[in-house]
Copies of this chain bind each other. A is one copy, B any other.
Amino acid sequence: MSHFPFKVLAVDGAARAGVLHTHHGEVPTPAFMPVGTYGAVKTLTPGELADAGTRILLSNTYHLYLRPGAELVGRLVGLHAVMNWDRPILTDSGGFQIMSLASLARVDDDGVTFRSHLDGSGHRFTPELAVRVQELLGTDIAMCLDELVSPRSDKPTALKAVERTLAWAHRCLRARSSEKMALFGIVQGGVFPDLRAHCAQVLGSAPFDGFAMGGLALGEEPGETWQAVETSLLNLPEARPRYLMGMGTPSDLLDGIQRGVDLFDCVMPTRNARNGTLFTRAGKISIRSASMKEDKSPPDPECSCFTCRNFSRAYLRHLFLTREMLGFRLSTIHNLSYYHQLVSGAREAVFSGSFASYRKEVEGLWVDQESLL
């Protein structure tokens, strides 16, 4: 039995509303996790995150391993203490950044050797080290080290990566020493439904506390993405949480929730905020546009976030045009609030059995139907 019980409290079709227990408290699901790469969700304090509705955040093992270093975070009594955040933290395993950011990554059956994207220094990650680093960080939910392949890979390549991912997942399970840390297996398999199904089945028969779906939205067709998600979900145990890694347009969230996804993360709300793109109930707006120049209304008139309660589109536009960091902050607060409101609205709809109409209502308000895809 898992030390980290997950309870599905309601279903509506395949959509689920639940609660995930962690060493740092409960997370109502579905939940969206903002990305705090270096132990900070860019521009925000922990209090602002909580006010925006964040119940769990994601941080990046690869980045923290390089700066400030996992041993140092450990001596500083873990990431929660360092960043003064007392709610749950999920960390990825570092595998994705090693493959996408680091130089000269070479995978073998035992692990992966790579060079830092910062200074070219040489490093090696194994499944055991990925677990050890996440334990030093003090994460609540750790991810297994996995091997990621391009969606353009052929089937033998994808199969080989699945076999390594499965072998590494079992090594991670054995390596875990902290009872405070949940461990999720990651379903790989590229765009091949039978590989996804196989990977999900094997992982599902092992005592992971939850499961992630990785290697998606990397250039394959949306139809392929969602087929891979559906196949993975169908072959994973229903009683444990399912996390769709790195995908997070508003449409993605609704698509995922409808299919039974419980956890999401994405840089989209925070990165877009810093680019001046704000999510509103009527669709995306560009806060820099000339039409905002004299607009005294808040970014989203229906939103009750700190930014919308206190500041106008005209002021935000001015802050962006003068490159004032306050503009990045206020936009980040709003976008995260939008995401959390979207997801908590979906959760309530699942409880009342009205997810389909909730989704229709939300999408019906998007002025440009493409705008939040």
A: residues with CB less than 8 A from B are: 38-40, 42-46, 63, 67-68, 72, 75-76, 82-84, 293-294, 296, 310-312, 314-315, 317-319, 321-322, 324-326, 328-330
The one of B46, B67, B326 in contact with A45, judged by C-beta atoms closer than 8 angstroms, is: B326
Contacts of A67 in B (CB 8 A): 318, 321-322
Q: Which 7 A-B pairs have the closest CB atoms?
A: A38-B322, A68-B318, A43-B325, A40-B326, A40-B324, A84-B310, A82-B315
- Answer whether A82 and B314 are a contact pair too, CB < 8 Å, given A67-B322, A68-B293, A325-B325: yes
Contacts of A75 in B (CB 8 A): 294
Contacts of A318 in B (CB 8 A): 38-39, 67-68, 82
Identical copies of this chain, number: 2
Q: Do A40 and B293 have beta carbons less than 8 Å apart?
A: no
Contacts of A40 in B (CB 8 A): 319, 324, 326
Q: Do B293 and A324 have beta carbons less than 8 Å apart?
A: no
A84 to B324, CA, bound (A): 16
Q: A45-B329, A46-B310, A329-B329 are in contact. List 12 more A-B contacts (CB 8 A).
A: A38-B322, A40-B324, A43-B325, A45-B330, A68-B293, A68-B317, A68-B321, A76-B312, A76-B314, A76-B315, A83-B315, A325-B328
A317 to B315, CA, bound (A): 31
Q: How far is the CB of A23 from chain B (nearest CB, A)?
A: 21
A94 to B302, CA, bound (A): 39
Contacts of A294 in B (CB 8 A): 72, 75-76
A76 to B292, CA, bound (A): 12
When C-beta atoms are compared, the residue in chain B nearest to A309 turns out to be B84
Q: Do A325 and B72 have beta carbons less than 8 Å apart?
A: no
Q: How far is the CB of A131 from chain B (nearest CB, A)?
A: 23
Q: How far is the CB of A234 from chain B (nearest CB, A)?
A: 40
Contacts of A43 in B (CB 8 A): 325-326, 329
Q: Do A76 and B296 have beta carbons less than 8 Å apart?
A: yes
Q: Do A42 and B82 have beta carbons less than 8 Å apart?
A: no
A319 to B37, CA, bound (A): 11
